[in-house]
Amino acid sequence: MYHFIMYLYLLGVIICSFFSEKVKKMWRGERDCFRVIREKLDPEAQYAWFHAASLGEFEQGRPLMEQLRRKHPEYKILLTFFSPSGYEVRKNYEGADIICYLPIDTVTNARRFLRTIRPVVAFFIKYEFWYNYLHILKHRHVPVYSVSSIFRPDQVFFKWYGHQYGMVLKCFTHFFVQNDISKELLAKIGITNVTVTGDTRFDRVLTIKEQAKHLPIVSTFKGNSKVFVAGSSWQPDEDIFIRYFNTHRDWKLIIAPHVIGEDHLKEIEKKLEGRKVIRYTQAQQHLHLSASPGEDDAIDKAIADAEVLIIDCFGLLSSIYNFADITYVGGGFGVGIHNVLEAAVWNVPVVFGPNNKKFQEAQDLKSAGGGFEIQGYDDLHTLMERFDSDKTFLQTASDHAGNYVRSHAGATDSIFKEVFKQ
């Protein structure tokens, strides 16, 4: 049945590639995979294979890849992605020797791929359970590790009808899971090669904090003002917090929308009701083109006088959270929230929408007192008024957020020690 589904899925991808640019990129990338490998493969090298579905899983695998690179440079690293949203952003990542899409999990593709690479160890990040790849790896006696995985009772492995597919879990050498619930669920189906190590993303965000970018434009914008940073926001998020800040002008607002297309940026600006708005790239361009110190001073004044800064480029958000007094992470009124840890690591409270139940870090952050769920505008209004009037409450929430991240670090070292016995 699984094989039939894979071939049906393959047919669906081919058809959808005619109508979706994202699917087209994925389909082209998968077909191009073997050429990329053929051109870059070192036949004498030992490869450690890391597979991440998308960008979030890459960030979970990245600390382990970078530690492997430092401590065992004799290994070369193959990094594969399933989704264009991961591959397109990280296709030039310098921490891997080969980066490509993973071909769809047919028997033919899996055999050809593994016969070509011959990995000596494999790491599947979080939710990756490809039946053919995993069974062939087991047959070849290649150690395979599931990293930062998390399991829930509603997953197919724990249903009466999921027993056959659940056998794929027997292919893993060891599971490094995020919580005790995952360990207990696996034990119920006879899988005991499990260690609760937590999430490697805690290690990653601490590293990001140490390597934060110097952002003079954002620093000038903030000055001595209170700043609310909204990261990875979508339209439903923006409708809520923009409404609040249009009537509370003692706060400055930084918006880093998830979608930075021109139409969406203009839509945001239209909603800001006459507030002084500046885009990051415009400020950057003006400073670059300025011809005199006097002109620089005028640009700096325009940045400092602005009330809203829109981040219309990628790669800055994790550093921008450093300038926040309160943060908001978007996606909670849609498919799910984005990365709350990148904000919490800076010792600031994190606000997010209701679709956060499947995100362990959001649930834990709420329990720790550093994360706050809102259902709509009224909740945000009440919460912001309390933050504004009760400085002790704000400081306590900030401390809880930062302490939560620091107290959960160390998963990378634990995994590394177990895998490499060091």
Largest CA distance in the chain: 73
Sequence-distant (6+) residues with CB within 8 A of 232 are 256, 257, 258, 317, 329, 330, 331, 338, 339
pLDDT at 334 exceeding the cut of 90: yes
Residue 227 has pLDDT above 90, yes or no: yes
- Give the pLDDT band of residue 289 (cuts 50, 70, 90): low
Q: How far apart are CA 257 and CA 255, in angstroms?
A: 6
How large a percentage of the chain has pLDDT more than 70?
Answer: 90
Query: What pLDDT sits at residue 12?
Result: 61
Mean pLDDT, residues 36-46 taken together? 92
| Residue with token string 């659940």 | 166
For tokens 């993303």, name the residue: 201
* Poorest-pLDDT segment among 22-31, 75-84, 375-384: 22-31
pLDDT of 338 higher than 60: yes
- Bigger pLDDT: 82 vs 248: 248
Q: Which residues pair with 372 in a beta bridge?
A: 351
How high is the pLDDT of residue 176? 97
Query: Can you tell me the mean pLDDT for 45-71?
Result: 93
Helix (H) or strand (E) holding 52: strand 46-52
Using DSSP's 3-state secondary structure scheme, residue 328 falls into strand
Give the pLDDT confidence score for residue 161 in this predicted structure: 82
Residue 311's Cβ-side half-sphere holds a number of Cα atoms within 13 Å equal to 24
Average pLDDT, the chain: 90
Please enumerate in sequence order all residues whose Cβ is within 8 A of that of 83, keeping only pairs 6 or more positions apart, or say none: 26, 53, 54, 55
How crowded is residue 161: how many other Cβ atoms within 10 Å of its Cβ?
8
Q: What mean pLDDT is predicted for residues 345-356?
A: 97
Distance CA 142, CA 9 (A): 27
Q: What is the mean pLDDT of residues 45-58?
A: 92
pLDDT at 17 over 80: no
Q: Indicate the pTM of the whole model.
A: 0.83
For 24, the token pair is 């087209």
- Of 395, 256, 405, which is closest to residue 342 (Cα–Cα)? 405
Distance in angstroms (rounded) separating the CA atoms of residues 20 and 127? 24
Provide the residue type at 106 as one letter.
Answer: T
